[in-house]
């Protein structure tokens, strides 16, 4: 399991925004949805598309490639063509900065 990884200052990730950081070879997308932070692996389980930058619908991110949606709270696939969940990672805020890590 890796160490916590600094994403950015809390003030640099506002509601509706996202950031991508790398934990070794794993891309982690961190989203701010109405003030709540969610971190997921930035790989669509359908065909490997990047989810960061996809349209947000409530708590769901839509894969820009073929339109699969994932619930950022659980990682669950919500509609085809993806059926497998994406990995979800912990997020914490400490001293004004956001951290995440691949905890698998
Ligand atoms: S790669 Fe994401 S829906 Fe196909």
- Asked if 101 contacts 89 with a C-beta cutoff of 8 angstroms, the reply is yes
Q: What is the pLDDT of residue 1?
A: 62
3-state DSSP assignment of residue 9: strand
- 41-79 pLDDT, tens digit per residue, is 999 999 999 999 999 999 999 999 999 999 999 999 999
- 72-95 pLDDT, tens digit per residue, is 999 999 999 999 999 999 999 999
Please give the structure tokens belonging to residue 13: 């990730």
Q: What is the pLDDT of residue 2?
A: 72
- 1-19 pLDDT, tens digit per residue, is 679 999 999 999 999 999 9
Q: What is the pLDDT of residue 46?
A: 98
Q: Within 10 Å of residue 57's Cβ, how many Cβ atoms? A: 10
What is the DSSP secondary structure assignment for residue 43, as one 8-state letter? -
Question: What does the angle CA 100 – CA 80 – CA 40 come to, to the nearest 5 degrees?
Answer: 0
The model's pTM is: 0.95
Mean pLDDT calculated for residue range 35-39: 97
Using a 6 Å cutoff on CB, does residue 82 contact ligand 1? yes
Q: Within 10 Å of residue 54's Cβ, how many Cβ atoms? A: 23
Please give the structure tokens belonging to residue 70: 């994932």
Domains contained in the chain, CATH given: 5-98 (2.102.10.10)
For all residues of the chain together, what is the average pLDDT? 96
Q: Which ligand 1 atom is the nearest neighbour of the CA of 47?
A: 1
CA–centroid distance, residue 85 to ligand 1 (Å): 12
């Amino acid at each position: 399991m890796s160490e916590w990884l600094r994403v950015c200052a809390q003030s640099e990730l506002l509601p509706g925004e996202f950031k991508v950081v790398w934990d070794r070879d794993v891309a982690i997308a961190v989203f701010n949805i109405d003030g709540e932070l969610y971190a997921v692996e930035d790989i669509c389980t359908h065909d490997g598309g990047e989810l960061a930058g996809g349209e947000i619908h409530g708590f769901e991110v839509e894969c820009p490639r073929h339109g699969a949606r994932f619930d950022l709270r659980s990682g669950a696939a919500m509609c085809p063509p993806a059926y497998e969940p994406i990995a979800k990672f912990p997020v914490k805020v400490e001293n004004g900065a956001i951290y995440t890590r691949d905890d698998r």
